[in-house]
Amino acid sequence: MKILHTSDWHVGKVLKGQSRAEEHTQVLAQVIDIARAERPDLVLVAGDLYDTAAPTPEATRLVTRALTALRRTGADVVAIGGNHDNGAALDALRPWADAAGITLRGSVRESPAEHVIDGVTRDGERWQVAALPFLSQRYAVRAVEMYALTPAEANQTYADHLGRVLDKLAEGFTEPDRVHLVTAHLTVVGASTGGGEREAHTVLGYAVPATVFPGNAHYVALGHLHRSQRVIGPCPIRYSGSPLAVDFGEQENVGSVTIVEVTATTAARVREVPVPGAVPLRTVRGTLAQLADVEPPDGWLRVFVREQPRAGLREEVQELLPRALEIRIDPELMPAPGSGTRTAQRAGRSPRELFADYLGSRGHADDGVRELFDELLEEVEH
What end-to-end distance do the CA atoms of the chain give, in Å? 72
Instruction: Tell me which residue of 303, 345, 346 sits closest to 322, measured CA to CA.
Output: 303
Longest CA–CA span in the chain (Å) reads 81
- Nearest C-alpha neighbor of 70 from the set 37, 94, 96, 22: 37
Taking CA atoms, 89 is separated from 109, 133, 197, in Å, by 14, 13, 21
Cβ atoms 28, 9 nearer than 8 A = yes
Distance CA 255, CA 45 (A): 15
Q: How does DSSP assign 141-158, residue by residue? A: HHHHHHTT-SPP-TT--H
**Smallest Cα–Cα separation from 162: which of 170, 354, 23?**
170
Calculate the CA 26 to chain-centre distance.
18
DSSP secondary-structure letter at 41? S
Residue 359 sits at φ, ψ, to 5 deg, of -60, -45
- The DSSP 8-state label assigned to residue 47 in this structure reads S
2 C-beta neighbours (distance < 10 Å), count: 18
Helix 158-169 × helix 137-146 angle, to 10°: 40
How deeply is 167 buried, as exposed, middle or buried, from its count of CB atoms within 10 A (0-12, 13-18, 19+)? middle
Domains detected in the chain: 2-274 (3.60.21.10), 280-334 (no CATH), 342-381 (no CATH)
Pairing of strands 256-263, 2-6: antiparallel
pLDDT tens digits, the chain, 382 residues: what are they? 999 999 999 999 999 999 999 999 999 999 999 999 999 999 999 999 999 999 999 999 999 999 999 999 999 999 999 999 999 999 999 999 999 999 999 999 889 999 999 999 999 999 999 999 999 877 776 676 666 555 445 446 888 888 989 999 999 999 999 999 999 999 999 888 766 555 555 555 678 999 999 999 999 999 999 999 999 999 999 999 999 999 998 888 889 999 999 999 999 999 999 999 889 999 999 999 999 988 888 899 999 999 888 888 999 999 999 999 999 988 877 655 554 444 445 556 777 778 777 777 666 667 777 778 777 877 776 6
Q: Long-range contacts: 164-168, Cβ < 8 Å, 24+?
A: 165/108, 165/112, 165/132, 165/135, 165/140, 166/130, 166/132, 166/212, 166/213, 166/214, 167/214, 168/112
pTM of the model: 0.83
Length of the chain: 382
Closest CA to 374 of 359, 362, 363: 359
